[in-house]
Amino acid sequence: MTEHVISERKLKESEYRFEDLIKNSDYSTAIYRSDELYIELANDLMLKTWGKDASVIGLKLEDALPELEGQPFIGILKDIFKTGIAYTATEDRVDLVVDGKLQTYYFNFSYKPLKNADGEVYAIHNMAVDVTDLVIAREEIQKREERFRDLADSMPQFVWTCDKDGKMTYMNENWYRYTGFDKNEDPAEGVKRVIKAEVYEQVEVVWAESLKTGNSFEMEYQFLDPDNPEVYRWFLGRAAPAFDENGDIKQWIGTFTDIDDFKQLQTQKDNFLGIASHELKTPLTSLKIYTQFIEKNLVKKDDLKNAEVARKMDGQIDLLTVLISDLLDVTKIQNGKIQLNESEFDFDLLTEEIVAEQQMTSRHKIILHPSQIGAVYADRHRISQVMSNLISNAIKYSPDADQVIVSTKLKDNKVTYSVKDFGIGIPSDKHKKVFEQYYRVSGSKEHTFPGLGLGLYISSEIIKRSGGRIFLASTEGKGSDFCFEIPKSKNVQQNA
């Protein structure tokens, strides 16, 4: 066997190995020979990419894929035969006829020149990866982001986004129009510059808690008015997490809403209510005295029928007095002027007094299950106000029941007072709302329950200011259990 024959055999074996490597490649692969670009080899993946079968092997590339006319690829390949310089592209667009239709695809691909011993290019090795789905998905995300930003820019609020760790990534145009800040500036630094310094640390604490727990953020604070550097405007800040397909937080979407005009109207309303309520108290007190005087005189004259009318008038005056007192309390709470006159008093005795008072005017049987509480340090008048409110609510919202249960408990220096009724109950999604100002329990019988929706709000504020908490357990249609918890002794709580 001559050396030439051995050399030819080795060359053939090398070509077979190369061909086998191409056919079994994990990538779409083809070999184009000579500057006429004859398709010498193409594996199944490349044929599938082209939408062709093996019959194109041996054809010129431009004949096998006539749709490449007008696209740059034939020209690039022919230039490589001249220059010998490889070419790579990322996410390049290619239009191919597949399944009888011209369709757009995107590929990462390379054209690598194959050279002989003299350094001449005799073929080009083409490898490609179809990244169409990736590109389309990213373009769709970009379109969604553009739509979101267009929508955000059209909103009157300041709209912003943060990444999952709380770093601000976007502010809408309205923010920059309001502040005049540079868009290249870190948005978080901009917020820090306009927010009232006294509350900034508090905002950071609340925001950090939302990031930690994943709970929505909501807080009111003041921003500097750019038109008047000495004035601050009230804003409502809100943010909610957005989740990925795995349920993990991917970003936060938030808003700053200007509520300054609303705040001013609310202040005017509260001032009016405060003044009106205060002015009504004096004539109402006089009216009550006159009514009681008339009732006594009618009784003396043995005119019991009209005396009963006067007594009912007196009862309605009492109801009106309670409503006016509630309005005054709300005004004091919102102006930060409600004061607690704390002292030591007998909690058990107060509980018995309130139950007895409520029992005098109620057809419900008020059952008391007391524990031995003893002396408590708090505002006796305000605590009695809360006790009365919880019992009167229990009676009002259980018109078809005949009893209410009041119980007390002492544990770890904490006194718990509970009122259980068997009335209409409250849906679980409304539990947090019942302690809001002017909220009234809704339902088919709402019109039968009078009131302004202030009692529980006032009670909640009193208990909070007493260092305690107010809460409930309720099932719609079965009744409610309203409770408050306060420290028995402030000294014990502080030293604990």
Of residues 24 and 483, which shows the higher confidence score? 483
Asked if residue 107 has pLDDT above 60, the reply is yes
Average pLDDT of the chain? 86
Q: What distances in angstroms separate CA 364 from CA 394, 400, 425, 481, one per listed residue?
A: 10, 10, 17, 16
Measure the CA–CA gap between 342 and 397, rounded to whole angstroms: 31
Q: In what order do the strands lie in the sheet with 217-225?
A: 168-171, 158-163, 249-258, 228-243, 217-225
Same domain, 100 and 197: no
Query: What pLDDT is recorded for position 364?
Result: 94
DSSP SS3 for 245: coil
Residue 56: predicted pLDDT:
94
* Residues 69, 10 share a domain: yes
User: Pick from 301, 334, 367: which residue ends a domain?
Assistant: 334
Other C-beta atoms closer than 10 Å to the C-beta of 448 total 11
Average pLDDT of the residues in 308-335:
78
Question: Nearest to residue 105, comparing CAs of 143, 65, 145?
Answer: 65
Other CB atoms within 10 Å distance of the CB of residue 315: 12
pLDDT band at 11 (very low <50, low <70, confident <90, very high): very low
pLDDT tens-digit series, residues 266-304: 778 777 777 776 677 778 888 888 888 898 998 898 888
When pLDDT is averaged across residues 458-478 and rounded to a whole number, the result is 91
**The pLDDT of residue 155:** 77
pLDDT mean over 463-471: 93
- Which residue carries 């990213």 as its tokens? 138
How far apart CA 64 and CA 41 sit, in angstroms, is: 13
CATH number of the domain residue 226 falls in: 3.30.450.20
Counted domains in the chain? 4
What residue numbers bound the domain in which 392 lies? Answer: 343-495
> What is d(CA 406, CA 362) in angstroms, rounded to the nearest whole number?
14
Better pLDDT: 75 or 155: 75
Q: Where are the beta strands (DSSP E) in 145-263?
A: 158-163, 168-171, 217-225, 228-243, 249-258
Is 229 found in the same domain as 100? Answer: no
Estimate the crossing angle of helix 455-465 against helix 304-334, to 10 degrees: 50
Backbone angles phi, psi at 270, to 5 degrees: -65, -40
Q: Which helix (H) or strand (E) holds 40?
A: strand 38-42
Instruction: Please name the residue that has the structure tokens 């590109």.
Output: 135
* Share of the chain residues as helix, strand and coil, in percent rounded to the nearest 5: 45, 30, 25
Residues 6+ apart with CB under 8 A from 301: none
Among residues 130, 153, 188, which one ends one of the domains? 130
What SS3 state is found at 131?
coil
The enclosing H or E element of 38 equals strand 38-42
pLDDT value, residue 496: 38
> Residue 20 has what pLDDT?
63
Q: Cβ neighbours of residue 84 under 8 Å, at least 6 residues apart?
A: 113, 115, 119, 121
pLDDT tens digits for range 425-434: 888 888 878 8
The CATH number of residue 433's host domain is: 3.30.565.10
- Is residue 361 located within the same domain as residue 319? no
CA-CA-CA-CA torsion sign (488, 490, 495, 496): positive
Domain end call among 217, 235, 258: 258
The three-class DSSP label of residue 95 is: strand
> Distance between CA atoms of 315 and 122, rounded to whole angstroms?
110
Confidence of residue 446 (pLDDT cuts 50, 70, 90): very low
Q: Cβ(96)–Cβ(50) under 8 Å?
A: yes
- Judged by average pLDDT, the poorest of 110-124, 132-146, 371-385 is 132-146
pLDDT at residue 65 in the model: 95
Mean pLDDT for 73-98 is: 95
Of the candidates 15, 16, 17, 40, the one whose C-alpha atom is nearest the C-alpha of residue 29 is: 40
Mean pLDDT of all residues in 225-247: 90
Distance CA 310, CA 308 (A): 5
In the predicted structure, residue 1 carries a pLDDT above the cut 60: no
CA–CA separation, 437 vs 460, rounded Å? 10
Q: What pLDDT, on a 0 to 100 scale, did the predictor assign at position 6?
A: 55
Domain CATH code at residue 278? 1.10.287
The pLDDT > 70 percentage for the chain reads 89
Residue 15 has pLDDT above 60, yes or no: no
Same-domain pairing of 288 and 253: no
pLDDT at 339 over 70: yes
- Per residue in 203-234, pLDDT (tens digit) is 999 999 999 999 999 999 999 988 888 889 99
Partners of 168 in the β-ladder: 162
* pLDDT at 336 (0 to 100): 67
pLDDT of residue 447 exceeding 60 = no
Judge if 377 and 489 occupy the same domain.
yes
pLDDT (0 to 100) of residue 443:
52
Q: How confident is the model at residue 493 (pLDDT cuts 50, 70, 90)?
A: very low
Both 220 and 313 in a single domain?
no
Stretch 449-466: mean pLDDT: 81
Residues 44-63 as b or e (16 or more Cβ within 10 Å = b)? ebbbebbebeeebbeeebee
Residues 147-189 have pLDDT tens digits of 877 777 777 889 999 999 999 998 888 898 888 888 888 888 8
Same domain, 477 and 367: yes
Largest CA distance in the chain: 150
Rg (CA), the chain: 40
Predicted pLDDT at 145: 78
The reply to whether 50 and 171 lie within a common domain is no
CB 463 within 8 Å of CB 470? yes
Q: Which of 12-21, 66-75, 107-116, 470-479 has the lowest mean pLDDT?
A: 12-21
182 DSSP 8-state letter: -
What the block records as the tokens of 485 is 């918890």
Given a cut of 80, is residue 400 above it in pLDDT? Answer: yes
Quote the pLDDT of residue 495.
40
347 and 466 co-located in one domain: yes
User: Residue 224 has which token pair?
Assistant: 């500097």
Q: Given pLDDT bands bounded at 50, 70 and 90, which one contains residue 440? A: low
Instruction: Report yes or no: 295 and 310 within 8 Å, Cβ to Cβ.
Output: yes
Considering only 107-121, 318-332, 451-465, 470-484, which range has the smallest mean pLDDT? 318-332
Do 156 and 241 sit in the same domain of this protein? yes
DSSP element (H, E) containing 22:
helix 3-23
**Are 107 and 143 in the same domain?**
no
